[in-house]
Amino acid sequence: MHPIYGIFGTVPVPMGVSSPVPPMRTRFQPFRAAIRGVALCEPLTSALRLIADSGPRNARRMQAHMELKTKRKTLRLISNGMYVITSRSEGHFGAATVTWISQASFKPPLIMAAIRTNSNVFKCMSDSGLAAIHILECNQQDFAQKFFFPTQANDGCINGEPFVDGVTGVPVLRNTPAHIECRVVRIVTDVGDHAIVILEVIEAECRDLVRPLTIAESPWEYGG
Ligand SMILES: Cc1cc2nc3c(=O)[nH]c(=O)nc-3n(C[C@H](O)[C@H](O)[C@H](O)COP(=O)(O)O)c2cc1C
């Protein structure tokens, strides 16, 4: 059974069978049809008007229509991994756990990352033009947590984790199953509250074929 929605309420009817309500032939019929037509069409026409009249101002008007809780809930359903990105610019180090990362091209192999512009890692990667992205294993939540905090490098460690120099000279965290060394090819800073950094893969090393850590399987959220 599926409901048929009419102007006089909801009538359940079996699938594939037309409404059991007999057609009404009264002198009010045209008025009722007109009222129903207007009621159905009004939200549709206003939505179409908004879409047709597109542009930054109307995009903002359309955003205002969006329910904030629904937007947050829905955007948080986007699947993302959890990574630690590192970089160094002369004596200065940057390292951060990030989740807004995705492959963006096969040829050349590109990765895009959304990075906070006030972070140490952003400063280092924009100065040096190099960064390393580390994949974490699904049981490395403690490791990820170390890089939620401001970068501190000393005694061959970043935030307490030992590193070695990679092929490109970027700091490579030893206790990770895989890493990708990249060069920065473009940085977009004028569209949102994170910089969109496009990186080209220069070197990749897989030490252990693990099940990677994802934001969905973690206790944390970053999105919305
Ligand atoms: C779950 C989670 C995900 C995060 N994802 C990102 C991200 O995708 N991009 C980003 O720039 N910062 C992200 N952060 C914030 C960085 O981890 C944090 O700002 C880090 O401290 C930066 O290091 P810094 O203080 O040395 O600059 C995330 C934080 C959390 C808790």
Inter-CA distances, 78 with 39, 99, 128, 140, 174, Å = 35, 11, 31, 21, 29
When pLDDT is averaged across residues 139-148 and rounded to a whole number, the result is 98
For 159-211, write each residue's pLDDT tens digit: 999 999 999 999 999 999 999 999 999 999 999 999 999 999 999 999 999 99
| Atom of ligand 1 at shortest range from CA of 94 | 26
| Atom of ligand 1 at shortest range from CA of 149 | 21
When pLDDT is averaged across residues 68-75 and rounded to a whole number, the result is 95
Q: What whole-number percentage of the chain has pLDDT above 90? A: 71
ipTM here: 0.98
Q: Hey, whose CA ends up nearest to atom 14 of ligand 1? A: 98
pLDDT number for residue 63: 73
Residue 44 vs residue 199, higher pLDDT: 199
The label of the residue with tokens 């629904």 reads 70
| Atom of ligand 1 at shortest range from CA of 120 | 27
Q: Hey, whose CA ends up nearest to atom 27 of ligand 1? A: 119
Enter the tokens of residue 111. Answer: 């990765």
Check pLDDT > 60 for residue 34.
Answer: no
CA angle in degrees (0–180, nearest 5) for 134-137-139? 135
Which residues of the chain form CATH 2.30.110.10? 83-206
Picking from 72, 204, 221, 60, the residue whose alpha carbon sits closest to that of residue 148 is 221
Query: Is ligand 1 within 6 A of the CB of residue 224?
Result: no
Q: Is 83-206 CATH 3.30.420.10? A: no
For 74-130, write each residue's pLDDT tens digit: 999 999 999 999 999 999 999 999 999 999 999 999 999 999 999 999 999 999 999
